Structure 1
Amino acid sequence: MNYNQLAADILELVGGERNVLSVTNCMTRLRFQLRDTKLANVEAIKNLKGVQGIVTKNGQFQIIIGTDVSNVCDELKKMGSFPESTTGNEEEKKGILAAFFGTLTAIFTPVIPALAGSGMIKALLALLVAFKVVEAGSGTYQLFTAFGDALFYFLPFILAVSAAKQFKCSPYIAAVLAGVLMHASVGSLEPATAALSIFNGNVINFNYVTMFGFLPMLKVSYGGSVIPILLIVWVQSKIEPWANKISPNALKIFLAPMITIIGTGIIGLFVAGPLGNLVGNILAIVFNFFNDYAGWVIPLLMGTFCPFFVMTGMHYCFAPIQTIQYATLGYGTILGPGMLASNIAQGTASLTVGLRTKNKDMKQIAYSAGFTGLMGITEPALYGVNLKLKRPLYAAMIGGGVAGLYAGITGIHTFSSTTAGLLALPVYIGGDSIMNVVNAIITIIISIVVTAIATLILGFVDPIEEKTTKETGGNSGKGKADRLSVKETIGSPLKGKVVSLEQIPDEVFSKGILGQGIAVIPSEGKVTAPCDATVVSVIDSKHAVGLQDVNGTEILIHVGLDTVGLKGEHFECLVTEGQQVRKGQTILIFDMDEIKKAGYQLITPIIISNTDDYLEVIAADTKQVNYGDGIITIIR
């Protein structure tokens, strides 16, 4: 893969450097925050070699690359000065819930590799001890324990820095505040005890100390905690700008940080920290309730619906909850068991496709993505194979659900956090019985067997078989044979001079990135429907309309080049998305003279967006067209 070329193509198609507010990456995705997501050419990006798919969630424009994503991101960052994240006013407005999960995801995404690496160290150590390569309590054991536990114990420091970047405040002051939470002088205070009774007879005990002679402060252990430091850094993001504002310039270098540390520290120790700790304790009780009375529910739901959590990025939002579980219970059930079942199922479905497909490209992608899925990275399998073919995704959900149900019934859990896959088996080693890891192995076997059988039963439409049937005229079924003789003619939506796509001074159109078609230099400022169709998209800037006819043909009519820059001026769109239109109906009018005066070319591409669905898209060999004249012929 040419990382530099792919990065350059992506940057151009997301709207250029000026449209990028920030870019970062997780394990498989480029995560953009764009000024205007409508400027991103989604279909063209999807068609780039090396791109598995696109997701737009929580204010992020996410491009799925696979395990090579860090190399592409590095090349992107060489091409422009992009911050890693932003919460500026230019970001699209979102609902409260979407904003919350988006912020949580943005904070935890950079930490995921460190969490996974640390978890694998603990898994490796458990494996070495189980096979008596390393003796528990030895110097080597203590050293590797430090390697594996450091992140989890000092997690407040790591999250403080990541949260500060997201909340746009000083990461160094945030780290200081994390240090305040964990400082020995705070931990050594002698406390008194109080208790709070909550639902189901559960009691939360509180230790507190008296500060300033009268004010009680809860004494909490913050090592490995999650919610307290996130709340504290959020408080810092409110106090820090105020401190900078009131501090004289001559004193700002020390006065503003001092005010921020003291003000945030007091609020953190007395309010935000204890509140976050209380939330964590309540969540722990909820976890215990599910584990005691309905332990099968979460693994079953996670095993079945994890692909949809991955598509929306919601799986990252479970990471802080899982971390709280480790801190309070010593083990995890939220992500590990269910995601193990689901990830193995995703990989198995992809590998089964690889075994059955006759398409060489699909076979290569399916094998590579399937193996990666078995290791716990499922986006390539999900977007590159299973979601694209649909039925393998259903098979993976069946297999993941059945295996997740078994994992829940047997009560398996993880003892540290890592990517859920075959290599994660050592994190199931621990406790008083070996059955936890044995049941994890059985979960994997169930996931593989059920998913493979479901994939074979449900089948899938093999691209090579469909293409061969069309090209050779093979009669594998009456429906397919009938389609071979179908020709469809698309009428011209404009009156004017006809030119080929190759003559358009824009590579996105001239190279056929968006699909095959033709172009017209209009002589009148009117666009009519080229056929009976449904309006599927209307660009906000009113210069382009997408249609779909009754046969499923997708037609893009794009008036002028770069006319998005006019922001709708000199255009009037007469239709709305979802509206049915008849051939010859006027759908768009535009002021040719004013557009030319503004310096824009009026050459108008007419593109068949789903060109790959057809045997051939043939442009008419003519110089001039009137409204409704045949301009494109499609052979099915």
Structure 2
Amino acid sequence: MKYEKLAKDIIANVGGKENVNGLTHCVTRLRFKLKDESKANTEVLKNMDGIVTVVKSGGQYQIVIGQHVSDVYDDVVSIAGFTVDSEEESKEKLNPFNAFIDIVSGVFQPLLGILCATGMIKGLNAILISTKLLESSSSTYMVLNSIADCLFYFFPIFLGFTAAKKFKLNQFIGMAIGGALVYPTIVGIAGKTMDFFGITMVMPASGYASTVIPIILSVYIASKVEKLLKKIIPDVVKSFLIPFFTLLIVVPLTFIAIGPVATGASNILATVTMSIYNLSPVLAGLFLGAFWQVFVMFGLHWGLIPIAMNNISLLGGDPVLATVMAVSFAQTGVVMAIMAKTKDKKLKSLCIPAVISGFFGVTEPAIYGITLPKKKPFIVSCIIGAITGGIIGAFRSTLYSVGAMGIFVLPSYVNPQGVDNGFYGFVLAMVVGLVLGF
């Protein structure tokens, strides 16, 4: 094990494996759910080689590692004997906001890698079409498009799986509910009214393909139904009768009530966010660009992910999250300047990997290891981040897919109809962020 010692030290200083309710990881952080955070030696962990810092946010005890976090995670899981897919019930009661962040991160976090990949392919396809290297009628385009759209079109199935894991429902039941929402016959009657044993069911005009909120709510309800059924169905027939009754209850209920209500809520959310953005795209960009790194530090950025996914599903693109994607270049420019000026060999050695990860959109090593401890560079990066957000807002740049970061996000700004001013506005914001930051 490459990180055996670090993994053992982490386990010991979070209060031992018996103090851990659950463990996941994201791009740079180990995300623990601890039974008692007071048992963790936070200062010891912060000063440990191999750890950037420790953050407590959203009901999670987050240890910032860096881009090799997945390797450290594997060693921690192996040494502690954790079951990767299991998570004990936490006795800690989260406030509503922390609970929301916890749910959103738990549902969307496992999909970020594949979201990034398919989004880049979608952008690449748009570039090939706009440069006339491909025709939309060609079989090559159709194959690439199927790869690019497969995740988003069948999003309810993927979210059914991750939401089921989060809500402790049988994950295959979650997938089955998602599959019912995108079943071809159901997709074909979008916008029509039908009945289920005499009960009217109104199908949304846009259908349920690519939707976010309906499946998450349905899986949450299903988790409650399954929990109730486990109490009343005999053990000898639980394996098939629990899925049988859960699906028979939840899927029709989704089409009758949950889906229409969730779709209405989705439309309201899209309308409200776009109304706020349209009041002044520049001010929206300035605000989000200025505080985005603060949001990331405390895990609050997860709150914008479902809004962006919802806007892309209903409107075809999202201009809100689009305003913050050049902030990482402002942070990277600042760190490049520190690297160029410092005589401190240790600081310079920290700057090199931070700059590399910054170009790929991962800024935690730069924030926690370099700019935040020095305060002024962090404030400068926030100011420059605001400027990049303002530029993106002024050009009304739009994200057409979510997941990619840093230089890899470029294809996500390409309009499926062809390269437009929004794309050039984002490129300008990237350059300005990097140069002004430096």
TM interval, shorter chain, is over 0.9
Which residue of the partner structure matches residue 148 of structure 1?
148
Give how far 1:313 is off.
0.8
Which digits, 9 at most, give the CA deviation of each residue in 1:454-512, with x for residues without a partner? xxxxxxxxxxxxxxxxxxxxxxxxxxxxxxxxxxxxxxxxxxxxxxxxxxxxxxxxxxx
Give how far 1:156 is off.
0.8
* Higher mean C-alpha displacement, 273-282 vs 92-101: 92-101
Partner SS state of residue 90, structure 1: coil
Partner SS state of residue 209, structure 1: strand
Matches within 5 A, 1:69-88: 69-84=69-84, 88=88
Out of 374, 381, 384, the residue aligned to residue 389 of structure 1 is 374
Answer whether contact 2:119 2:411 (CA < 8 A) is retained.
no
Structure 1 residues 436, 188: closer, same or farther in 2, change over 3 A? closer
Partner SS state of residue 251, structure 1: helix
Give how far 1:190 is off.
8.0
Structure 1 residues 423, 251: closer, same or farther in 2, change over 3 A? closer
Which residue of the partner structure matches residue 174 of structure 2?
174
Structure 1 residues 449, 97: closer, same or farther in 2, change over 3 A? same
Find out whether 1:218 has 2:231 as its counterpart.
no
Matches within 5 A, 1:12-411: 12-84=12-84, 88-189=88-189, 207-213=192-198, 215-220=199-204, 221-336=207-322, 338-411=323-396
Q: 1 or 2, which has the higher strand percentage?
A: 1
Q: Determine the C-alpha separation between the residues in 2 that align with 1:109 and 1:363.
A: 32
* Higher mean C-alpha displacement, 300-309 vs 409-418: 409-418
Answer whether contact 1:415 1:429 (CA < 8 A) is retained.
yes
TM-score, normalisation: structure 1: 0.65
Give how far 1:127 is off.
3.4
Give how far 1:147 is off.
1.3
Answer whether contact 2:21 2:35 (CA < 8 A) is retained.
yes
Instruction: Give the aligned residue type for 1:258.
Output: F
> % of aligned pairs identical?
33
Give how far 1:374 is off.
2.2
Answer whether contact 1:299 1:333 (CA < 8 A) is retained.
no
Give how far 1:85 is off.
6.7
Answer whether contact 1:33 1:86 (CA < 8 A) is retained.
no
Give how far 1:149 is off.
1.1
Instruction: Give the aligned residue type for 2:262.
Output: G
Instruction: Give the aligned residue type for 1:217.
Output: M
Give how far 1:231 is off.
0.3
Answer whether contact 1:295 1:409 (CA < 8 A) is retained.
yes
Q: Determine the C-alpha separation between the residues in 2 that align with 1:97 and 1:88.
A: 21
Q: Determine the C-alpha separation between the residues in 2 that align with 1:136 and 1:189.
A: 26
Give how far 1:233 is off.
0.5
Give how far 1:148 is off.
1.4
Matches within 5 A, 1:371-520: 371-430=356-415, 431=417, 434-452=420-438
Partner SS state of residue 55, structure 1: strand
Answer whether contact 2:130 2:418 (CA < 8 A) is retained.
no
Find out whether 1:7 has 2:7 as its counterpart.
yes
Instruction: Give the aligned residue type for 1:368.
Output: P
Answer whether contact 1:303 1:401 (CA < 8 A) is retained.
yes
Give how far 1:23 is off.
1.2
Segments ≥4 residues shifted beyond 6 Å? none
Instruction: Give the aligned residue type for 1:343.
Output: S
Structure 1 residues 96, 238: closer, same or farther in 2, change over 3 A? same
Partner SS state of residue 79, structure 1: helix
Q: Determine the C-alpha separation between the residues in 2 that align with 1:90 and 1:433.
A: 48
Answer whether contact 1:55 1:312 (CA < 8 A) is retained.
yes
Answer whether contact 1:20 1:82 (CA < 8 A) is retained.
no
Give how far 1:314 is off.
1.4
Higher RCO by CA contacts (8 Å cutoff, separation 6 or greater): 2
Cα RMSD (Å) of the superposition? 2.0
Answer whether contact 1:33 1:91 (CA < 8 A) is retained.
no
Instruction: Give the aligned residue type for 1:8.
Output: K
- Number of residue equivalences: 435
Partner SS state of residue 33, structure 1: strand
Give how far 1:132 is off.
4.5
Answer whether contact 1:22 1:83 (CA < 8 A) is retained.
no
Partner SS state of residue 250, structure 1: helix
Answer whether contact 1:236 1:260 (CA < 8 A) is retained.
yes
**Of the two, which has the highest radius of gyration?**
1
Which digits, 9 at most, give the CA deviation of each residue in 1:187-246, with x for residues without a partner? 34486xxxxxxxxxxxxxxx4323322x22121311110000000010011100111222
* Higher mean C-alpha displacement, 228-237 vs 3-12: 3-12
Which structure 1 residue ranges, 5 or more long, are not aligned? Answer: 192-206, 453-636
TM-score, normalisation: structure 2: 0.94
Instruction: Give the aligned residue type for 2:421.
Output: M
Instruction: Give the aligned residue type for 1:415.
Output: Y
Partner SS state of residue 370, structure 2: helix
Which digits, 9 at most, give the CA deviation of each residue in 1:357-381, with x for residues without a partner? 1111111211220221122111111
Q: Determine the C-alpha separation between the residues in 2 that align with 1:44 and 1:216.
A: 61
Q: Determine the C-alpha separation between the residues in 2 that align with 1:64 and 1:128.
A: 38
Answer whether contact 1:7 1:76 (CA < 8 A) is retained.
yes
Structure 1 residues 173, 339: closer, same or farther in 2, change over 3 A? same
Give how far 1:248 is off.
2.5
Instruction: Give the aligned residue type for 2:396.
Output: G
* Higher mean C-alpha displacement, 118-127 vs 227-236: 118-127
Which digits, 9 at most, give the CA deviation of each residue in 1:509-535, with x for residues without a partner? xxxxxxxxxxxxxxxxxxxxxxxxxxx
Q: Determine the C-alpha separation between the residues in 2 that align with 1:190 and 1:100.
A: 30
Instruction: Give the aligned residue type for 1:218.
Output: V
Q: 1 or 2, which has the higher helix percentage?
A: 2
Which structure 2 residue ranges, 5 or more long, are not aligned? Answer: none
Q: Determine the C-alpha separation between the residues in 1 that align with 2:152 and 2:218.
A: 18
Partner SS state of residue 354, structure 1: helix
Q: Determine the C-alpha separation between the residues in 1 that align with 2:235 and 2:419.
A: 64
Instruction: Give the aligned residue type for 1:27.
Output: V
Give how far 1:83 is off.
4.1
Answer whether contact 2:392 2:422 (CA < 8 A) is retained.
no
Q: Determine the C-alpha separation between the residues in 1 that align with 2:193 and 2:61.
A: 46
Structure 1 residues 116, 276: closer, same or farther in 2, change over 3 A? same
Partner SS state of residue 229, structure 1: helix
Structure 1 residues 46, 259: closer, same or farther in 2, change over 3 A? same
